[in-house]
Amino acid sequence: MELRNWAGNIRFSADRVHHPESVGQVQEIVRESQQVHVLGSRHSFNTIADSTGDLMSLDRLEPVLEVDAQRRQITIDGAVTYGRLAPRVCEAGFALHNTASLPHITVSGACATATHGSGSRNSILASRVAAIEIVTADGAVRTLSRADDGDRFAGAVVGLGGLGVVTRLTLDVSPTFDMYQVVYENLPLAQVEEHFEAIMSSGYSVSLFSDWRESRFNQAWIKTVATSADAVSAAPTFYGATLATTDMHPLPTLDPTTCTPQMGVVGPWHERLPHFRAEFEPSYGEELQSEYFVPRAQAPAALRAIASMRGEVAPLLQMSEVRTIAADDLWMSPFYRRDCAALHFTWRYDWDGVKQLLPRIEGRLAPFDARPHWGKLFTMPAATLQSRYERLPDFRALLESFDAKGKFRNSFLETYVFG
């Protein structure tokens, strides 16, 4: 049967997909395979999860959720999605510090690609990984931890699927908290350029959405930690934008019932941090995505650069989103030692058109040393991308030390890491 990624734009090359039910079976499959790669929930838009050898899905792996309340850590299996995990973490009295816009992705896949949410003080989801259990190329089970493996651990967490099969992760958690979100409409671009830091720090997590048809953001979503259970009435205006009077979808023509509740209504963190509800299939059918990360201080200039290409961008665009992410120490994270702003594009399903436009966007963002999202579409040459990752040589050596024969390598890794 033909296997594709979530968006349908990538057809996986492997003939065989294994579905191990235990770590022992994972070890056996790895030992017997010449070439293998792990699939998460297949939400990446490029070939990062592909393999011409075998593929392995962990969707039948025994679920694990161990809570260590004293250490404020949880240990989970390598297959769980945020949508399945988050309510159980909340029930246990804890919270994850942040989530992506979509809860349907796996924790392992999100960590492997440096997936992020928003929040000027929130680092990527992988930054809370305290330990990983990996089945390596020789079929052995190894555990790496922040406490014992120091810098090598920082190299392994955003692993791009190249180190082996992550079968368990231990994550730091915090005490559970409640949140509310409000949406403002029609935020002028000039205000964002002038007050970028203040606007993006006005909540725990802030997202700005623009279709780039005009010099404005159609919506600003502001997610705030609640101090009481009462619904909050927000100020009627925000830097020239107006408070929405009903729940919104980032794409204004779509039904907001698939989105997490807004209008200042207080609820648990996992029902406010993602934009989309776990119980609905999100988004607008077919779409493609790209995202570039620039140093936060240069965000206003980067936004001006995109605004100057509005005429080219808008016709191919469904919606663009701007977020902020705090720096971390993970070697292959685009946020390595760099506070960033993220410029995201949800494109119409037109790869021919998008493929022509991306080099132009990448050219405009080159002065900012823009790094692309590992799981989305980009066109920059491998050499350019590599020049923007100072720890890439160390990562290459780490992969070689784990997997000398390249069992977990695929064409994506050959191109962008080893090419």
With binding defined as CB under 6 A, does residue 108 bind ligand FAD?
A: yes
Vertex 292: Cα angle to 286 and 322 (nearest 5): 80
334 part of the interface to ligand FAD, by CB under 6 A: no
Which of residues 80 and 313 has its CB atom nearest to ligand FAD in the complex?
Answer: 80
**CB of residue 410 to ligand FAD, shortest distance in Å:** 8
Question: What is d(CA 134, CA 157) in angstroms, rounded to the nearest whole number?
Answer: 11
Among 47, 98, 115, 127, binds ligand FAD (CB under 6 A): 115
Give pairs for 410-416: CB < 8 Å, separation 24+.
410/35, 410/37, 410/47, 410/48, 410/49, 410/50, 410/51, 410/52, 410/161, 411/47, 411/50, 411/52, 412/46, 412/47, 412/48, 412/50, 412/160, 413/160, 413/161, 413/162, 415/382, 416/382, 416/385, 416/386
Q: Is the dihedral of CA 83, 89, 92, 93 positive or negative?
A: negative
Q: Between 58 and 173, name the residue whose CB sits nearer to ligand FAD.
A: 58
What pairs with residue 358 in β-bridges?
none
Q: Is 48 in the site for ligand FAD (CB under 6 A)?
A: yes
Contact status, residue 292 vs residue 361, Cβ threshold 8 Å: yes
* 113 lies in the site for ligand FAD, by CB under 6 A: yes
CB closer to ligand FAD out of 191 and 296: 296
Q: What distance in Å separates the CA atoms of residue 353 and residue 337, rounded to the nearest whole number?
A: 34
Q: Is 58 in the site for ligand FAD (CB under 6 A)?
A: yes
Least Cβ distance, residue 282 to ligand FAD (angstroms): 6
Rule CB under 6 A: say whether 324 interacts with ligand FAD. no
Task: Give the residue, chosen from 110, 154, 179, 316, that forms a contact with ligand FAD under the rule CB under 6 A.
Answer: 110
The smaller minimum CB distance to ligand FAD, of residues 129 and 165, is found at: 165
Q: Which is nearer to ligand FAD, 83 or 109 (CB)?
A: 109
Q: Which is nearer to ligand FAD, 99 or 191 (CB)?
A: 99
Is residue 155 near ligand FAD by the rule CB under 6 A?
Answer: no
